[in-house]
Amino acid sequence: MGVWTFTSVFSFDMKLSRWGTNEDLIIQILAHRNAEQRKLIRQTYAEAYGEDLLKALDKELSNDFERLILLWTLEPAERDAYLANEATKKWTSSNQVLMEIACTRSANQLLHARQAYHARFKKSLEEDVAHHTTGDFRKLLLPLVSSYRYEGDEVNLTLAKSEAKILHEKISGKAYNDEDLIRILATRSKAQINATLNHYKNEYGNDINKDLKADPKDEFLALLRATVKCLVRPEKYFEKVLRLAINKRGTDEGALTRVVATRAEIDLKIIAEEYQKRSSVPLDHAIGKDTHGDYEKMLLALLGHEA
């Protein structure tokens, strides 16, 4: 069945709300459509009924299932803008969502997110980050969200050696908010940063994140460590987010929803493999144990989603 037929079925079903919303059909249609197809479904629905599909869904759905459908149906840049705006308005020093978006997206994806932010909120992401964050957090986050990194694989080994020395000197001196340390993390290409950090470990004996654990309770150091992990091993960062979200003390549905919705078409299968290595439990089993109903069904459908 083609996307247009799916759109017609979905639209017809949504308009017959007096019969009750068919959540299984929503999952069947949306969970198995890629970003371009979801965009076409949303456009066709608007043309047919004069209403944004997301507004129609908002009337029919609720709770965590609604949020997962919302994030999944938004275009990727629009979704990042939405999450970033939410993070600025609810910002605390332990909130890593802004850094996550800035460091795990490509240069063009981050640029498109900033453009989507302009279009949706009539202001810039940079001004909101500057307004809502303070101190060292602002000093790090503002250049991160403003960045447009080089995407190539070329690496300057001489530069890697010299900047590894700078990083070691600053960290040894506990100058964690130093301008050069932040400049390196916020502007260098991911390939260059990886080379620098490899040299750091080879020359000074420790992984940089081990040296950034001087005070495990320091939230700025936690953000620096997460920044490094997002830049060089994003799958390990997201695995940890999921592991902390699904635990014996209760489920953090916000983090679980965000990771599944934003990574399903990118690297969720790799993240799931990392999760099983670390936890000895398949991610789908962990999700099935901690969630239920339509929310669980949609999460599991996205976990098996083919990009």
The three-state secondary structure class of 272 is: helix
- Spatial distance between the Cα atoms of 217 and 219, rounded to a whole number of angstroms: 6
Ligand-binding annotation for 246, yes or no, is yes
The three-state secondary structure class of 154 is: coil
- Spatial distance between the Cα atoms of 297 and 301, rounded to a whole number of angstroms: 6
> DSSP per residue over 72-112, as a string?
HHS-HHHHHHHHHHHHHHT--TT--HHHHHHHHS-HHHHHH
Query: 176 with 136: CB under 8 angstroms?
Result: yes
Ligand-binding annotation for 296, yes or no, is yes
Ligand-binding annotation for 291, yes or no, is yes
- Spatial distance between the Cα atoms of 139 and 145, rounded to a whole number of angstroms: 11
- Nearest CA to 102 out of 268, 216, 228 is that of 228
Ligand-binding annotation for 20, yes or no, is yes
Ligand-binding annotation for 5, yes or no, is no
Backbone angles phi, psi at 251, to 5 degrees: -100, 135
Ligand-binding annotation for 169, yes or no, is no
Residue ranges of the binding site for Ca(2+): 20, 60, 246, 248, 250, 290-291, 296
Binding positions: 20, 60, 246, 248, 250, 290-291, 296
